[in-house]
């Protein structure tokens, strides 16, 4: 693991928790009979969990960008899927749809914060002075001793 401190990784851990919530939400909110919404929650929750964990354990910006995309899908998916859900937003499963939107917004915001931290960290590393010390062998070979 690189030297980016835990204090800058917390947004990724929030995404991991959001992924866990989204994965278990069909049971908690009682919409296991709505297969489209249920499978969307399982797949999206697993994706947030994996991408969040990858983001938390690496210095790479790729998983954070994937979390932004997953969060955008979660915000849009209830509107795309609401015609297949009994009652839509005002029906029995409205809480499940709103939960999906909220988790998507949390994922987008937390991934954006994680990206900001990572780009600041990468830029600070790029501006650190690099000290190169030649060994005596290098000095003799180059004739610069």
pLDDT digits (tens, 9 = 90+) for 121-134: 666 655 555 555 55
pLDDT digits (tens, 9 = 90+) for 55-113: 999 878 899 999 999 999 999 988 887 777 766 676 777 888 899 999 999 999 999 99
Rounding to the nearest 10 degrees, give the CA dihedral for residues 105, 107, 110, 116: -100
Domain residue ranges in the chain: 6-142
The residues near 120 (Cβ < 8 Å, ≥ 6 apart) are none
pTM of the model: 0.76
């Amino acid at each position: 693991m690189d030297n980016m401190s835990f204090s800058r990784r917390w947004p990724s851990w929030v995404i991991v928790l959001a992924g866990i919530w989204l994965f278990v939400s069909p049971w908690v909110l009682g919409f296991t009979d709505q297969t489209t919404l249920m499978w969307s929650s399982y797949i999206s929750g697993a994706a947030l969990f994996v991408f969040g964990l990858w983001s938390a354990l690496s210095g790479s910006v790729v998983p954070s960008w994937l979390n932004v995309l997953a969060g955008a899908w979660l915000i849009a998916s209830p509107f795309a899927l609401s015609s297949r859900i009994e009652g839509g937003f005002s029906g029995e499963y409205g809480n499940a749809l709103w939960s999906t939107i909220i988790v998507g917004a949390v994922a987008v915001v937390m991934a954006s914060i994680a990206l900001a931290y990572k780009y600041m960290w990468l830029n600070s590393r790029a501006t650190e002075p690099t000290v190169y010390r030649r060994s005596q062998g290098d000095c003799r070979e180059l004739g610069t001793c």
